[in-house]
Amino acid sequence: DAGVIQSPRHEVTEMGQEVTLRCKPISGHNSLFWYRQTMMRGLELLIYFNNNVPIDDSGMPEDRFSAKMPNASFSTLKIQPSEPRDSAVYFCASSLASASLRGYTFGSGTRLTVV
Amino acid sequence: DQQVKQNSPSLSVQEGRISILNCDYTNSMFDYFLWYKKYPAEGPTFLISISSIKDKNEDGRFTVFLNKSAKHLSLHIVPSQPGDSAVYFCAAAGGSQGNLIFGKGTKLSVKP
């Protein structure tokens, strides 16, 4: 298995532009998570899906952020409009269940820079 | 309100010696705890976990200890190797918290 695939690896965009981050989870995993990593806040959960349904989006910072999972093999995280404070590394992860001793499998992340 | 805390941002250890990374938590309902390792430009990778019904779990050079009364867990790496240099995240889940809550991480540097 190729693992969790995220694209792009790096994204540089201007303030006000729309940004879309993409994720392909591991086949057969039914839970998908979007995390954001910053120096100040560490790894924080933005939203997670079970069986393609959003379960908890309380970590989404504000209405500028939205996430979708149209099918079991694809998810997007969209920021519109983007702001410099959104600069961070965004990770997607997947697992067989919402949480377990086996943990989640993370992708390599998307480093977003908003200038 | 941080439920999982790693109070040491960094740790430096000599090769061959023991590395001890610490983690504290506040939610007594957590059922299990995990450690992840993260290299630069990569995603976190699962290292080792422990259930709340145990107080120790060992996997090769890595051992996790859980002290429920103190709400504290630690990761021991012995002997430490330069390849262990990475950021280590502690994570926990359980009770009403259905997903993993992460600490901010501790950067371990193992000097040759």
Of A4, A48, A101, which is closest to B99 when you measure between CB atoms?
A48
Residue B57: per-residue pLDDT:
97
Q: Is the pLDDT assigned to residue B96 strictly greater than 70? A: no
Interface contact flag, B99 A45, Cβ < 8 Å: yes
CA–CA separation, A31 and A97 (whole Å): 6
Question: B10 touching A, CB under 8 A?
Answer: no
Number of other CB atoms surrounding residue A107 within 10 Å: 25
- Rounded to the nearest angstrom, the gap between the alpha carbon of residue A12 and the centroid of all alpha carbons in its chain is 17
Could you read off the pLDDT of A30-86 as tens digits, one per residue? 999 999 999 888 899 999 999 999 998 989 988 999 999 999 999 999 999 999 999
Could you read off the pLDDT of B45-87 as tens digits, one per residue? 999 999 999 999 999 999 999 999 999 999 999 999 999 999 9
Q: List CB contacts (< 8 A) between B98 and chain A.
A: 55-56, 98-99
Of the candidates B105, B65, B106, the one whose C-alpha atom is nearest the C-alpha of residue A44 is B105
Q: Which 3 state secondary structure label does DSSP give B83?
A: helix
Number of other CB atoms surrounding residue A78 within 10 Å: 15
Query: Hey, of B1, B87, B100, which one would you mutate to test binding to chain A, going by the most A CBs within 10 A of its CB?
Result: B100
Confidence band, pLDDT 50/70/90 cuts, at residue A99 = low
Average pLDDT, chain A: 93
Of the candidates B101, B20, B25, the one whose C-alpha atom is nearest the C-alpha of residue B68 is B25
d(CA B2, nearest CA chain A) in Å: 10
B1 → chain A, closest CA residue:
A41
